[in-house]
Structure 1
Amino acid sequence: MLPAAARLRRSEDFREVMRRGARAGRRRLVVHVLQAPDPSAAPSRAGFVVSKAVGNSVIRHRVSRRLRHLVAARLGTVPPATTLVVRALPPAATASSAQLGADLDAALARLSLLPDQHNDGPAV
């Protein structure tokens, strides 16, 4: 579970990250990231967008819970003052947690927030 201080809640914050931040897309999700200029300014935070295109409310909430759990485990490894918005795509509805985790790791590695797990060298 994400602590309250690590949750993105305001629509303005979501909008700013999605407009100004970098993004990396995968088959089941898109990760948007914005890093604050002053790393000591705030803790890393995350927010989630799971639209009706993903499925009904039961499916959307299941996807949200899985993504929250996966991001909570990785939030401590990203640089301080990083804001993430994870946007689920329709294929996320039928994906397992392992598949969502693999897509999340690949997107974070592409954004140079995690070491690239598929190469022997660091992410560029």
Structure 2
Amino acid sequence: MMSSPHHRIHRRSDFQRTLSLGVRTRTRDLDVHRLTPAQRWPDRSRSELALGGGPWLGMIVSKKVGNSVVRHRVARRIRAAFASAILPSEAQAYYVVRARPSSALRSSNELADQLRKALAPR
């Protein structure tokens, strides 16, 4: 669903807003922050919010995870898992996924399971 680079968070302000206002879910190797349109724009109506497109994904994979090859491998795995795990009902939301250093030791399936768990509706 979400493989386009146009649906990635690039602006610092969007990262900061999602990290500070979004709901955080932690797994063993990932921290997932979810910011819904209602949280992002509390003064807008539902019809205005439906026009935004998305979902929007931002990733934080620091140097603590490993060298550039390892970091990019982890980021690719997270992107692929996110594309398969995202629900259509959450398509308007912003997500920031922070990979912990232990994420480099996990397989693609393990990261996908953790991401699915973190994205599951509560």
User: Shorter chain as normaliser: what TM range?
Assistant: 0.7 to 0.9
Deviation at 1:78, TM superposition (A): 4.4
TM-score, with length taken from structure 1? 0.82
Query: Which structure exhibits the higher relative contact order, with contacts defined as CA atoms closer than 8 Å and separated by 6 or more residues?
Result: 2
Q: Tell me if 1:102 matches 2:103.
A: no
Identity across the alignment (%):
38
Identify the residue that residue 84 of structure 2 maps to in structure 1.
73
Provide closer, same or farther for how the CA distance between residues 86 and 54 of structure 1 changes in structure 2, counting only shifts above 3 A.
Answer: same
Secondary structure of the 1:23 match is: strand
Q: In structure 2, what is the Cα distance between the partners aligned to 1:47 and 1:88?
A: 11
Structure 2: which 5+ residue stretches go unaligned? 39-45
Identify the residue that residue 35 of structure 2 maps to in structure 1.
34
Q: In structure 1, what is the Cα distance between the partners aligned to 2:71 and 2:64?
A: 9
RMSD of aligned alpha carbons: 1.5
Secondary structure of the 1:81 match is: coil
Which residue of the other structure, out of 46, 58, 65, is the alignment partner of 2:57? 46
Deviation at 1:76, TM superposition (A): 4.8
Q: In structure 1, what is the Cα distance between the partners aligned to 2:33 and 2:56?
A: 12
TM-score, with length taken from structure 2? 0.83
Structure 1: which 5+ residue stretches go unaligned? 113-123
Provide closer, same or farther for how the CA distance between residues 59 and 78 of structure 1 changes in structure 2, counting only shifts above 3 A.
Answer: farther
User: Paired residues, what number?
Assistant: 111
